[in-house]
């Protein structure tokens, strides 16, 4: 049974009314304002850096192993979110994984449509390699669209014969911009964040009105998945994007990817973002941390 804090969080999210059918600037302002309710812990350190020309930020908790790196890609349907709104989650990830986190401020749609986000993720990863950091000491972490972007980045790296990261952790990843997952409509009444209509609007903002929603680097569900690194996917049963995770995991397993699908009963989309007020969010981040520490001893 979910904690009592979940119902309170769902009510707050429904009252916030951040939807893809809003004007883009209105969406961004609403999300940024909501994110200020979850400030980063005061003992974290932040340092701005241009990672391969991409505005990024080092985030470190006290005692973090500087040789263990997590490259973090925030969610937001490729249209909202930024370094500031991701600091709480990035800081928690640093603490749980005992790692330095490179939070990447990739370009957003519709001003910078696909493949801008993939290009920025690749540039930041390759910048880490150029700093002398072995790929075996890097994990990719992303939530929602950032989770899909993390997977797409690994696909692009594999196709370019670049060194692959040690692991990928994706929270409720967006893997199918074509929106062919039944859960988008079947679980709509449960999800206070994602709607079919809003998600499709954001997908079109990202690939363009005539873009290919099934391009393998925009929708990694449609990519060849052989040879990808070990992967942990966390998803809640109350997510509209539930099938984006389960369908992807089934395909990845068939392709020989060492993948763990971790299903959380009654959890909503991106619930670990709200670890400040949701015990299950804290538990999920602790699990992610253990997974990354095991992948990068």
The catalytic residue positions are: 144, 239, 269
First to last CA, the chain: 33
**CA proximity to 69, closest of 160, 130, 115:** 130
Query: Which residues have CB under 8 Å from 4's CB, separation 6+?
Result: none
The DSSP secondary-structure symbol of 211 reads S
Residue with tokens 């500031």: 84
Rounded distance, CA 89 to CA 86, Å? 6
Instruction: Give 217's Cβ-side CA count (13 Å radius).
Output: 19
Cα–Cα–Cα angle for 33, 57, 200, nearest 5°?
A: 50
């Amino acid at each position: 049974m979910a904690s009592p804090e979940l119902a309170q969080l769902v009510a707050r999210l429904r009252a916030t009314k951040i939807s893809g059918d809003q004007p883009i600037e209105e969406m961004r302002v609403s999300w940024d304002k909501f994110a200020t309710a979850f400030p980063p812990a005061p003992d974290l350190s932040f340092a701005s850096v241009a990672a391969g020309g991409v505005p990024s930020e080092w985030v470190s908790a006290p005692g973090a192993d500087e040789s263990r790196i997590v490259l973090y890609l925030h969610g937001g349907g490729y249209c909202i979110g930024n370094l500031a709104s991701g600091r709480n989650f990035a800081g928690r990830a640093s603490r749980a994984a005992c790692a330095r986190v490179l939070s990447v401020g990739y370009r957003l749609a519709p001003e910078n449509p696909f493949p801008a986000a993939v290009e920025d993720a690749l540039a930041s990863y390759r910048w880490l390699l150029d700093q002398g950091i072995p790929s075996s000491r890097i994990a990719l972490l992303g939530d929602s669209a950032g989770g899909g972007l993390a997977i797409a980045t690994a696909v692009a790296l594999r196709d370019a014969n670049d060194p692959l990261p040690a692991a990928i952790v994706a929270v409720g990843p967006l893997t199918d911009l074509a929106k062919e997952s039944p859960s988008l409509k079947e679980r709509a009444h449960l999800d206070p964040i994602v709607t079919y209509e809003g998600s499709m609007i954001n997908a079109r903002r990202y690939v363009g009105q005539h873009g290919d929603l099934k391009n393998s680097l925009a929708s990694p569900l449609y990519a060849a998945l052989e040879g990808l690194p070990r992967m942990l996917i966390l998803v809640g049963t109350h997510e509209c994007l539930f099938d984006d995770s389960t369908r992807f995991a089934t395909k990845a397993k068939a392709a020989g990817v060492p993948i763990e699908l971790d299903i959380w009963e009654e959890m909503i989309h991106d619930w670990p973002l709200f670890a400040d007020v949701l015990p299950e969010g804290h538990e999920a981040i602790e699990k992610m941390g253990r997974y990354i520490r095991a992948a990068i001893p």
